[in-house]
Amino acid sequence: MLLAPELADVHAGHREGFLQASRRRAMGRGLDLSARRSDGSMFPVEISLAPAQVAGDPVVIATIRDVTADRLADAELAEAHQRVLLAEDHERIARDLHDTVIQRLFAAGLSLQSVLPVVPDNAKVKIERILDDQDDAIRELRTAIFGLSSKRAAGRTIRVVVNQLVDDVGRVLGFRPTLHFNGVLDSIDSEVTDEVAAVVREALSNVARHSHARKVEVSLSHVGERLAVVIADDGAGIPSSHRLGSGLLNMHDRAARLNGTCTVTSGEGAGTTVRWQVPVGS
């Protein structure tokens, strides 16, 4: 074995010490050992020492193993572990943003919407602008969450998400919308769940803000390879001037991204029905 020049003198002393109290053992246990190739390059090694006799003279047999591959594997494992920790941290942040920040923003917006009927017109315009800005902020947060999250948080099924949204809007409406589930829904993946949550949130927000409804129904149905979401109310309907508002366009865009469809049926004084459908696995 070729030693690094700076270790040659030290090694001689260690060799003499081993011969005086010789026993089979690993050399430098717990230390990072290295050896030098004939070309001068260094490489990591593990060395086992064993005492022996040659022609009556004590000698040391050193078994040297090149552990370069082991060290590379250890480094890759450590890097993979760091990636797992980082991903878990991203999941935690994404979960906190969705389950705490977005829900609080949504609930605050609903509370603000509840005062619209009793404020002067000039204040109403300002409040509606604030609500529009808040909707934009929620959408931006959801985009950030999508970038952070690689998998659905445990327990965050489509049933749980929609139930929470219905509870939130119920506190503002003064009654809880009727909720219907049909088919196997817990298998719906996180991407579709997030889109459904955004659509239901947008539709219920519009109900709370504009419709003055006395009855609201939300239904989710998974039949075959289609997921259908329907939000219907008996309120004032959508004025023709608002039919292409950003909220409704966003619902259409979300359906289109998943190769689905979105239709909105409404008439002034005749209520509104949003039908949102996308293909999913059976």
Average pLDDT, the chain: 79
pLDDT tier, 260 (very low <50, low <70, confident <90, very high otherwise): very high
Query: What would the mean pLDDT of 213-236 be, rounded to a whole number?
Result: 92
Asked if residue 153 has pLDDT above 60, the reply is: no
Query: What would the mean pLDDT of 227-250 be, rounded to a whole number?
Result: 79
Query: Residues spanned by CATH 3.30.450.20 within the chain?
Result: 5-66
Write down the pLDDT at residue 180: 94
**Which CATH superfamily hosts domain 5-66?**
PAS domain (3.30.450.20)
Tell me how far CA of residue 173 lies from CA of 31, 161, 202, 246, in angstroms: 69, 19, 15, 23
Write down the pLDDT at residue 140: 73
Write down the pLDDT at residue 218: 96
Overall CATH class of domain 76-279: alpha beta
C-alpha 277, offset from chain centre: 24
Asked if residue 131 has pLDDT above 70, the reply is: yes
Closest CA to 44 of 22, 68, 64: 68
pLDDT tier, 273 (very low <50, low <70, confident <90, very high otherwise): very high
Tell me how far CA of residue 252 lies from CA of 22, 206, 241, 249, in angstroms: 81, 15, 17, 5
Tell me how far CA of residue 125 lies from CA of 75, 117, 136, 171, 244, in angstroms: 59, 12, 17, 23, 19
- Choose between 192 and 42: higher pLDDT: 192
Write down the pLDDT at residue 70: 84
Question: Considering only 87-96, 109-118, 257-266, which range has the smallest mean pLDDT?
Answer: 87-96
pLDDT tier, 8 (very low <50, low <70, confident <90, very high otherwise): low
Query: Residues spanned by CATH 3.30.565.10 within the chain?
Result: 76-279
Query: What would the mean pLDDT of 131-135 be, rounded to a whole number?
Result: 80
Question: Considering only 1-5, 51-55, 258-262, which range has the smallest mean pLDDT?
Answer: 1-5
